[in-house]
Amino acid sequence: MIIKRFKEFKDKYGEQAYKKLNDFFQNEEKIFYKNKIKELMEAEGLSEQTATIKARQSWVATIGRNLEKIVEMLISDFCKKHGLFITNDKILKRNKLPKELDLVKRAILVDFGDYSLLPDGDIILYKKNNEFPKIIAILSVKNSFRERYTETPYWKLKLLQSELTKNIKVMMITPDKDDEISFSHPPRKARIILEYELDGIYLAKGKFNRSKKIKPIIELIDDLKKLI
């Protein structure tokens, strides 16, 4: 339902809808809480306080999944036009992957001596390239950070350590709900680290201080074009 309502929101506001994601999700959060709390109280017999806590936890997961879907909507036409394919780390963690996705997985694995791990990747863009796929970019999608702003830069640094993965671009898309990276006077710690380490940060909001790396979300596609 959230994606359906976002499509209606986008029909109304056009590209500006991506700058208004915080407004859209604030309204969706109210709808979600109202319905979820009622559902939990009736189905599980929970108190309103307990139901509210559980609803809040459920909302965090819900907004994360739907934000990823909205970003995929933004880039879907571009990907079709240029023969790019989309996957994510959750899919790549499955057993018995088809050959194509198994090769994608192997192309981004990070070596830890006796172990190899997949970097976090909410959206992984790749292009079929003869026998082996070419990884175009790994996109991290976050609604807010809450002290988790070092996760994505960590994987970027690990990818840089291998000749096989050092050219993979790592980018972040976020509405930056809590303004942790939006403004630069003075910059908060999250902005300094993310801007220094990542290849691009794209904000789904209207007001922020842009830089060479920190840009509006609608410029994501222009930068992806440069990678293919």
Give yes or no for residue 146 having a pLDDT over 80.
Answer: no
H or E segment to which residue 174 belongs: strand 169-174
Residue 151: the pLDDT is 94
In this predicted model, what pLDDT tens digit does every residue of 7-38 receive, in sequence order?
Answer: 999 999 998 999 999 899 999 999 999 999 99
Amino acid at 64: G
In this predicted model, what pLDDT tens digit does every residue of 156-175 receive, in sequence order?
Answer: 999 999 999 999 999 999 99
Helix 2-13 vs helix 21-44: crossing angle, to nearest 10: 160
Q: How many whole angstroms separate alpha carbon 160 and alpha carbon 170?
A: 10
Per-residue exposure over 163-188, b if at least 16 CB sit within 10 Å of its own CB, e if not? eebeebbbbbbbbbbeebbbeeeebb
Residue ranges and CATH numbers for the domains of the chain are: 2-225 (3.40.91)
Q: How many residues does the chain have?
A: 228
